[in-house]
């Protein structure tokens, strides 16, 4: 079997277009322009690239983009003050504080201060709790994007399927598991202490890899016909020593020979994250519009 490739780039482009259409209607019907504020602390080059892309795509969707930068050595109080000001700003519907933060800052404390109604990352404990109890809240962007791709391939009926999520982060693994549970999948969350991970992975109709270990999931970990979602974005040296290349957490060629559907890296899950961020910002603005 050779897997069908899940084109996240195309799916994300379609989603961004739908968001842009809604934004245009919101502007016409309610005179409301959704605004997304992104706060970046320090000089991490990867974070700068993400933040630039977010700003460009926010504007392309017809929304207002507000960007705030703080130096690497800024005190935590400066970031907390910035978040408090954005909470109070009626032009801002979504707030995203780019992670990771410098070591002297407490990310949990910062996220906790964000108004849950503006927490478009879905990281606030109120939104995490809502997801856990099945209430409407803001869902983290990456797992939301993964679920959209899974639904696109398997249709709306995921009930009873075995889902294995490798990785237990608050950003991807745990919310992904909650979303799949909400779809009535039988969900197992695997992590670094899991025993016989290859055998567990082989039981999965839906396999989500979010661990940050390059090409960890091998072809013989994959159940024939499974849907494989690769959240990994790992830079590794090229074989010829000329720079680096981006690979996922799945050994793509091996896994694609066994899976039914698989996301590539790049061009799979990655583009979905920003598209879902825009969708979450639109939802937050609509909630305000009533």
Closer to ligand GUN by Cβ: residue 98 or 283: 98
H or E segment at 148?
Answer: helix 141-154
Cβ neighbors of 147 (< 8 A, separation 6 or more) are: 176, 179, 180, 183
Asked if 140 contacts 171 with a C-beta cutoff of 8 angstroms, the reply is yes
Residue closer to ligand GUN (CB basis): 180 or 277: 277
Contact 158, 181 (CB under 8 A): no
**Residue 99 touches ligand GUN, criterion: CB under 6 A:** yes
The residue whose Cβ lies closest to ligand GUN is 99
Query: Per CB under 6 A, does 97 bind ligand GUN?
Result: yes
Residue 273 CB, nearest distance to ligand GUN (Å)?
6
Q: Which stretch binds ligand GUN (CB under 6 A): 61-69, 94-102, 124-132, 159-167?
A: 94-102
**Span interacting with ligand GUN, options 72-80, 90-98, 181-189, 207-215, rule CB under 6 A:** 90-98
Nearer to ligand GUN, 144 or 217 (CB): 144
In whole angstroms, give the CA distance from residue 151 to residue 267.
18
Q: How far is the CB of 153 from ligand GUN (least distance, A)?
A: 23
User: Binding-site residues, please?
Assistant: 167-169
Rule CB under 6 A: choose which of 19, 36, 86, 96 binds ligand GUN: 96
Closer by beta carbon to ligand GUN, 98 or else 281: 98
Q: How far is the CB of 218 from ligand GUN (least distance, A)?
A: 26
Residue closer to ligand GUN (CB basis): 121 or 205: 121
* Annotated binding-site ranges for NADP(+): 167-169
Contacts (CB under 6 A) with ligand GUN, residues 120-149: 121, 141-142
Nearest to 135 by CA among 87, 178, 185: 178
Under the binding rule (CB under 6 A), the answer on residue 98 touching ligand GUN is yes
Q: How far is the CB of 53 from ligand GUN (least distance, A)?
A: 11
Question: Which residues have a catalytic role annotated?
Answer: 54, 98, 121
Q: Which residues contact 283 (CB under 8 A, 6 or more apart)?
A: 138
CA 81, CA 9: separation in Å to the nearest integer?
A: 36
Count residues near ligand GUN (CB under 6 A). 8
Q: 269: how many CB neighbours lie within 10 A of its CB?
A: 28
Contacts 24+ apart (CB under 8 A), 168-175: 169/210, 170/123, 170/128, 171/99, 171/123, 171/140, 171/142, 172/140, 172/142, 172/143, 172/210, 172/231, 173/210, 174/128, 175/122, 175/128, 175/131, 175/139, 175/140, 175/143
Collapsing DSSP to helix, strand or coil, 201 comes out as helix
Which stretches of the chain bind ligand GUN, using CB under 6 A? 96-99, 121, 141-142, 273
């Amino acid at each position: 079997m050779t897997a069908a490739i899940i084109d996240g780039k195309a799916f994300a482009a379609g989603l961004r277009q739908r968001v842009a259409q809604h934004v245009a209607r919101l502007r016409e019907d309610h005179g409301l322009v959704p605004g997304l504020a992104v706060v970046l602390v320090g000089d991490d080059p990867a974070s700068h690239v993400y933040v630039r892309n977010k700003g460009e795509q926010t504007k392309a969707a017809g929304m207002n983009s507000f960007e705030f930068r703080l130096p690497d050595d800024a005190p935590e109080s400066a970031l907390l003050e910035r978040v408090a000001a954005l909470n109070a700003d009626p032009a801002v519907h979504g707030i995203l504080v780019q992670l990771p933060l410098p070591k002297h800052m407490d990310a949990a404390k910062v996220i906790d201060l964000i108004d849950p109604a503006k927490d478009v990352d879905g990281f606030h404990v109120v939104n995490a709790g809502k997801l856990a109890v099945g209430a409407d809240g803001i869902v983290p962007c990456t797992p939301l994007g993964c679920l959209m791709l899974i639904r696109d391939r398997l249709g709306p009926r995921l009930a009873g399927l075995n889902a294995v999520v490798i990785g237990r982060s608050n950003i991807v693994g745990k919310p992904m598991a909650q979303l799949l549970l909400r779809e009535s999948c039988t969900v197992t969350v695997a992590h670094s202490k899991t025993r016989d991970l290859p055998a567990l992975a082989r039981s999965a109709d839906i396999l989500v890899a979010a661990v940050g270990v390059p090409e960890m999931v091998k072809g013989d970990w994959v159940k024939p016909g499974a849907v494989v979602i690769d959240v990994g974005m790992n830079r590794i040296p090229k074989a010829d020593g000329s720079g680096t290349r981006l690979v996922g957490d799945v050994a793509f060629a091996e896994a694609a020979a066994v899976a039914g559907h698989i996301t590539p890296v790049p061009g799979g899950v990655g583009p979905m994250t920003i598209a879902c961020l825009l969708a979450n910002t639109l939802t937050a603005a609509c909630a305000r519009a009533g």
